Amino acid sequence: MAMMKYPTWLRGLDIVIGIISIIIGVWMIIDITLAQLALLMLVSIVILLFGFSRIIKGIAVVEMKKTSRIVNVLGGLIASLMAFLVYIFQYMTILIIVMFIAIALISIGISRILFGFVEAEAEGWWRLLQIVVGFLNLLLGTLVWFYPSFGWNIAVVLFVIIFIANGFARIITGISGVHR
């Protein structure tokens, strides 16, 4: 099971995005009364970073299978587009904006799950990490999509879980220096 090393700058990007994701997740736990608009902007920025990171990996890590590269780029494009829409339409009702975020999280989840299954040569722990975090994204993004009436506080709890899980997954991948 040959694993490839990926560029140091990409490892650093994963670690930085992971740390930012965890900080925002913890921040949402500590101060749930933050202005909704400000919090949505931060969430959209982090999701935009997740999307850009997927696009960059899909383009820069040429040793990946073609299917994995396409999945990364497409997932990143959808997530980035939804995050951008949240930013542009920040004055729309919170429910509509939360739906954009749900679509972004679902696309990231699908991308991670497919990536975990497609990269058969990757280490088992890494593939499992991708699949578990992807499933968590998919599950919680779908819950937010189908039950927007949960209210903002429940959505924040779901976002916290997703952000912290994605943050740790990015940090682990960045520190290990192994990416497939």
pLDDT, tens digit, for every residue of 30-82? 776 654 666 677 778 888 888 888 898 889 888 888 888 888 899 889 888 88
How many independent structural domains does the chain possess?
1
pTM of the model: 0.62
Q: Is residue 85 part of a domain?
A: yes
Instruction: Judge whether 46 and 27 are in contact, CB under 8 Å.
Output: no
pLDDT at 133 > cutoff 50: yes
- pLDDT tens string 71-101: 889 988 988 888 888 777 766 767 777 787 8
Range of the domain at 52: 8-175
pLDDT at 135: 93
Q: Is residue 1 part of a domain?
A: no
Q: Is residue 51 part of a domain?
A: yes
Q: Is residue 3 part of a domain?
A: no
Q: Is residue 180 part of a domain?
A: no
Q: Is residue 33 part of a domain?
A: yes
Would you tell me how many other CB atoms lie within 10 Å of the CB of residue 31? 9
**Average predicted confidence (pLDDT) for the chain:** 81
Q: What is the DSSP letter of 41?
A: H
Q: Is residue 2 part of a domain?
A: no
Q: Is residue 122 part of a domain?
A: yes
Closest by Cα among 47, 44, 42 to 75? 47
DSSP 129-163: HHHHHHHHHHHHHHHHHH-GGG-HHHHHHHHHHHH
